[in-house]
Amino acid sequence: MKKIGLSVALLMVGMTVFAQNKGEWRARLRATYVVPEASANITTINGSVDISKQVIPELDFTYFLANRFSANLILGTTRNKVTATNTALGNVELGKVWLLPPTLTFLYYQPVAKGILPYAGAGVNYTIFYGKTKGPAIADISYKNRFGFATQLGADFDISKKCFINIDAKKIWLKTKNDVTTIPSVAGGATVHSDTKINPWLFSVGVGVKLN
């Protein structure tokens, strides 16, 4: 029993040593695979939506507000092809659009061993739609910028005193509203409305550095 108690005490001391301190900064650069789980409710012509998958660079900055607690700002942008599927007009290419989704999460860290630092948390996302291009049958299309909820799970693995490897997964619950007008030769230039769920998963791997 004494040996078990000593082992537990040493483990707790080790975790305390490797817990992060208030005021620490970290930065990460990752390759991120963005996988939308898209669906839509389209008026008049019915159908759903398909949004293309993308691999993008992603940058984040982490500031420790207290031991084991941090604020994490995630930056990246993606260009996606959007297609209305299974509508009364068939599959209709809507064009492409850039998404800029800055995300702020608050994370809790639980060291499990020397140099291994898992974390989990949640936060808020605000997605800006910009740089849209229209499909060949589309006269106009709009996207409404929206807030969304985000969750995050990952871990840092130290490879030196300053550098580490990072793996990370995020889920963002994101919706937008669309107005789509076809060219006159397609459905007489009709305008349809859509409530679109994008709800992407983001799977990442990359490197990081401790800034202080």
68-122 pLDDT per residue, tens: 999 999 999 999 999 999 999 999 999 999 999 999 999 999 999 889 999 999 9
Distance of CA 144 to the CA centre of its chain: 18
pLDDT digits over 37-47, tens only? 999 999 989 99
pLDDT at 211 > cutoff 90 = yes
- pLDDT above 90 covers a percentage of the chain that reads 82
Distance CA 57, CA 171 (A): 17
Residues 77, 86: Cα–Cα separation, whole Å: 28
pLDDT bin (cut points 50, 70, 90) of residue 8 is very low
pLDDT at 53 over 70: yes
User: Which H helix or E strand runs over 4?
Assistant: helix 2-18
Lowest-confidence segment of 17-31, 96-110, 118-132, 146-160 by average pLDDT? 17-31
Q: What is the residue range of 11's domain?
A: 2-210
Q: What is the pLDDT of residue 182?
A: 92
Predicted pLDDT at 113: 87
Indicate whether 51 pLDDT > 90.
yes
- Cα atoms found within 13 Å of the Cα of residue 133, Cβ hemisphere only: 8
Contact call for residues 100 and 128 (beta carbons, < 8 A): yes
Which run of H or E residues covers position 126? strand 116-134
Question: Distance between CA atoms of 50 and 194, rounded to whole angstroms?
Answer: 13
Question: Considering its fold, how many domains does the chain have in total?
Answer: 1
Tell me what percent of the residues of the chain surpass a pLDDT of 70. 91
Burial of 34 (C-beta count, 10 Å sphere; 0-12/13-18/19+): buried
pLDDT band, residue 1 (cuts 50/70/90): low
CA pair distance 19, 6, nearest whole angstrom: 20
> Given this model, what pLDDT does residue 12 score?
43
For 157, other C-beta atoms within 10 Å of its C-beta total: 14
Q: Which residue has the higher pLDDT, 52 or 22?
A: 52
CATH value at residue 12: 2.40.160.20
Q: How confident is the model at residue 181 (pLDDT cuts 50, 70, 90)?
A: very high
Residues 148 and 174 sit within 8 Å (Cβ to Cβ):
yes
pLDDT confidence bin for 212, thresholds 50/70/90:
confident
Q: Does pLDDT of 179 surpass 60?
A: yes
Mean pLDDT of the chain: 91
Sequence-distant contacts of 143-149: CB under 8 A, at least 24 apart: 143/97, 143/176, 143/177, 143/178, 144/176, 144/177, 144/178, 145/176, 146/174, 146/175, 146/176, 146/177, 148/101, 148/124, 148/172, 148/173, 148/174, 148/175, 149/122, 149/123, 149/124, 149/125, 149/173
